[in-house]
Structure 1
Amino acid sequence: MAGNTGFVTEQWIEHAFAEDRVVVARKDAGSLSGGRITTIDLENDADSETVLSSYRFDRIVYFFESLTLHSDSDGNLGRLRGVLHATRDIAAQVLLVTGPESEFTHAGNDEARETSKSLMSRAGEELGRYYAQTYAMSVKIVRCPYLYEPHHVDASSYLDGLFEHASEGKIEFCERPEQEAYFLCADDLAELVRRIYDDWTTAYEVLHVPNAFHPTFRDFAQAIANGFPEAKIRYGADAPYGYPDDDGVLRRRYGWSPRYSVVDDLPMAIDTWRQAKEKHDRRAEHRFWQRLQRHSRILGAVEIVVAAILVEWLVVATSGQSQISQIDFRMLYVVIAGTIYGLNAGVFAAALACMGVLFEYSRNGASFLPLLYDPTNWLTFVAYLIVGAVCGYVRMRNQEHVRFVRDENDLLRERLTFLRGLYQGVLDDRTMLRRQILGRRDSFGKMYEMTRRLDEVQPQKIYRTAIQIMQDTLETDCLGIYRLDESQRFARLVAASPQEEAILPKSADVAAYDKVMRDIEAKGLWVNRELDGNLPMYAAGVREHGRIGVVIVIRKAAADQMNLYYRNLFLIICGLVESAMTRAFEYEHAARQSMLVPGTSLLNWPSFREKLRAAVELGNDRMGSHLLLIVTDQYPEAGDFNERIIRSIRETDDAGVLADGSVCLLMNQAGERELPIVSARLARNGLNVRNVDAQSEADLLAEPDADGEAS
């Protein structure tokens, strides 16, 4: 996560990325902590390209500066470009979260509100769109209201500034009182980010976050005034602006809508701000003592001087007492000072004691000349200095020993922390690799999951499952599966990706794709190395009884998908699909007679219902379409009727008998538009039919099991 990450907290990360290892780029790199959270400074420690290439991120979230109302920071377009440019060769999912200003409109018209910040916000969005289209990056943009965080200070700079001014007795807004306040709680954004990544698609799109509660700045100011009754409110005269209404996309696709209102959360935010301010004030009360502690030498010197004055007073006070006069208070003072404060302090205390002796000589009226000429009088001064130096030296030596032991312990502690970090890193790597083995799209565990899901005996279900698996594993939405007829002259579309179902032709002439079929026959795979727009980028065949029966195609592929790894992965998955389809074809061929109504080519009701259910599932997933037609005429001769059925339907279609004995035709990959053509073709073969709507299909599938019989 990079950009305007001031509101990102440990709780926010736990909500949005509960199982991921997260790297947050922010200036106060030490404010976040946790085993899964790493903080860096992109501006000082390393550039974006180095960091992104080192970590190889799967997901990247960039927060624009415009998410903060009246932010003084610039848009940091250079940093955004650096992040996008460094991500262009990484298969990462990039989410750009922008502010609301690019969607602001004037009250009287629909023109965009042109401000410097809105221009920078739209410029950032254009950068995202450019990289998504040029480098085929997976980019989405979320336009949301201004963010606020009620649980932490320094996360909502706009609110903190308002509270600070309100505590001083004034609340000033640039906006008018009737102007709507567009705010979104950071917790709501965390939930939205989690749901977007849980249901991520590769298509570039812009998502709009609604302003659900529609509070005005009058409501906003009143909520702050309730917490600061003495504050006076003053509004501005900025031109009013609007924000688009809810388009319902986030609610329908992700089941998400905002839960928290800024007006309801303001009392909590005010209490959080006040508690932080009280802690700050309490810390300020101790600044004097903290300052003294930082200047310990000055404090020690003052203490030594004061103690020397007290000692001299004690000497004077006890000079007339014979027993107490035997105690040398000055020597005791020097010993204590040297033992407590060290060598320099001991010598300094000895010097003060010597000055005290000289002061006593002067006070008694003695001359200083005997001191100079009689060396025996120097012994007192020498003794004070030696005692002060020895006591201070012992103190200093003990301090050095303690410091050495402490440094050695710190070194051992650092080594222990380093080794513990290595051990924890090994454990994290082990856990990560285990998850990759069991969960990565190209892992053995994933291959086992694919094999398990493909374990079906009905080809229609395998078509659907194969499309789902390939979309997830190959990261493409351009898949199609074709079934070749007995003559291998035509290929019929049996399933396709939702985006391709309306684009891929329902029927294809195999002769037009002779180059593709030759490569599939010879190598098992077609790769469009010449980038011919009329041919698929990849195609692989599934053999049935020794010849190609099914062809799987990828119509389009990104530039980074035209490599050996992607080709081999496509071949491996096609091999799994081929094994499953071959098994299903063989089972269907072996069990064909038990699935038919005796004496006819019509499927009995249980078998036909499974075919119909598979077709409905394909339609619900938008991977295919079908028509269910009921034959309205009666045909007494079963042989003639069977001939009509065989002539009228394709190999990909099915004919069966309902529980009530009615004959139905399941026309796969045909919709309402093809109904007149299909009806005319059937009428030419003497079959009159009527269409069955979706509700009637659902009622048929809900009926209990019963074997139908031919009439």
Structure 2
Amino acid sequence: MSTWTKKVMFVGLPRYFEQILAACFRKEAWEVSRIAAGEGNLPQGIRTYDCTIESEEAKTVFAVQNLDLLIYRLERDPAHAAARLDALLRLAVGARVRRIFLLSNDEVFAPGTQPVETDAPAPQTETGRLLVRLESIGLTYRAQGAPVTILRLAELYAPGQTSDDGFIGRLFGAPLMRRPIPRYLATEEVSYGLLDARDAVFAVYQAADRGFDSSHLHIPAPQGTTIAELYQICSDFFPRMNAQEEPREPNGRAVMKSSLIEEQLGWRSRRPLAPGLKETWEAMEAARDAYVEDIREFSRLAWLGRIRLKMIPYAENLAGALATFGVSYLQGGSSVNSMTAFDFAFLYIGCMGLLYGKRQALIAAVLSLILLIVNLLGQGGDLVAMLYNPREFLHFVSYFFVAVLTGYFADRESYRQESDGRVKRRLQYRCSFLEKIFKENLAVKDRLYRQIVNSDDSIGRLYRIISRLDSVETENLFTQTASITADILDVNDVVVYVVGEGGYYLRQKVRLGKGTADMPRSLRVEDYPYLGEMLREKKIFVNRDLVQGLPDLAAPISYEGRVIAVLQIYHLDFEQWSLYQQNLLSITARLVSSSLGRAYEWEKETAGRKYLDETRILRAEEFRKVVEEFRERRRMQQDYPVTLLPIKVNGMTYSKLDHQIANSIRAEDFIGATPEGVSLLLPDVAGKTLDMVRERLAKAGVETEECQAL
């Protein structure tokens, strides 16, 4: 069977470390996925599940993923770290994840020390104390049988880091973010263990690939690096220190050591410090420049977009006001049409309200009111008198009424669309999540199907047996029984006998192999004691005494407590005389028995539909199937003759013809209707035997035509 693709999932890893780690695992043909909530820019080559550890979606992911490895970086958030770790470990244990790596670091030890895996933690910072608590949770699960291993990494650096990623990220990010660089008072005494992340990911992979199962593993730097040495290395590209900021870790960190990683995993750091630090600085500098440029471009486009969105309603409002003014000018200075008494200002206000809501509608109402007052003053009206004139006052108020009414409908629709949009986005997220899970299940199913179908192990053989026996045609099943037995046992000579009525005789049904041509066509049970014992005991016969004329192996095929057929194997090689071959024959016989049993049941249920009324004559379509099944048997065994013998009906009914033929043919022969009339199909009949059949039919008053060999 082809090797099953292994799966690894990342949770909570820094983006730069995640990318390098994913590349390492993908190179070794692992499937890589991650759980991360609310990230817009998704990494390439990693299947991402947008959910949190506490969500139902995460439970679904773990239930269907069948993970080989889970890698989780212990969080630094004291409010939620313990709860999330506990939730994650519960999911992993419930889903039977095969291995769990919890990534910690050297902050669990005191600065200036050189601890190994067996040393007790001695944290000096809040973060260190939190990591120790989280490690203790992981060890509790390990004590309960969970495959948890804690990997403590040295301080990492690599291209792709940001100012939030560790000591080097903060140090290099300070000048890039226009912040002061911390100044250390005793640079020769403050040391860090600095390790290239590209070396660290290979150590993590080695631990997974070689099945490292101890509780702790240190992935250390090759040696400690003091701040003085660090600044000396970075002096050609890094800005000088200044004294404007206190260092976050004034005493440095522990420099871990490990003998396990070299002895058990064969790993050691290979990348030199100076080139790696320079690559990291240049990558951070380039990323910062690109980020600033992107922010500027995005800000410019966002500003233009906001201006455009804000200005369009005001521009359209102004255009509507000018259009209303034009209509008023054409109507002699009034927006009210003299013939219809319709005020076009209502149309203007209503359009603004329905399009943009109450704000633009009220602005339109104010502009319309100013235009109306100007028109009335031009006609000799008085402003104070207008307020006391009910007709004009109601006209003024109606503008605002139309504005509020139309704006209300527009705002309500806007709020509804916004609410529906949130619901729609949530449903789309759920739908896409379930679709992703569904497609992954389909992929797993297809892969399992291909592995079973194409495999050469016992599962593949079992599948091929079942698929070839997936039939209810009895003749086809007998043919496949012989073929399957030959394939499974890797033999050439196989004969299948069927047990006659009463169990006194066995008739040869199918034979395979050149060595079976002379095997008897029928066997009387009382002449062969092993057959009688097999029919009674239903056990396999093994010819241990090598008696001439008997099969080497024989197995009964049973249905409903009685033997209906017998499988016989001849001419076994010396290497095949083993208990393994006997068990294989027994299993094959049982599988065949089940399929033949279904075929017999089907034969009973469909007998009325397969034969012409009250006859043994098969209908044309059923007879065609039998002919094709014997063609297949003929292709499998070249010396197995099958003859198709047409019969002259001469005006006889099917019932009369069946009555005349009944006593002249064998039980294993077939009578069937054809487009030309009626034909006999005679298995294992040719030459003199065929002449005897013709004579017997002629005596019964049945004439035959020219025969045809299949």
Query: What TM bracket, shorter-length normalisation?
Result: 0.3 to 0.5
TM-score by length of 2: 0.46
TM-score by length of 1: 0.46
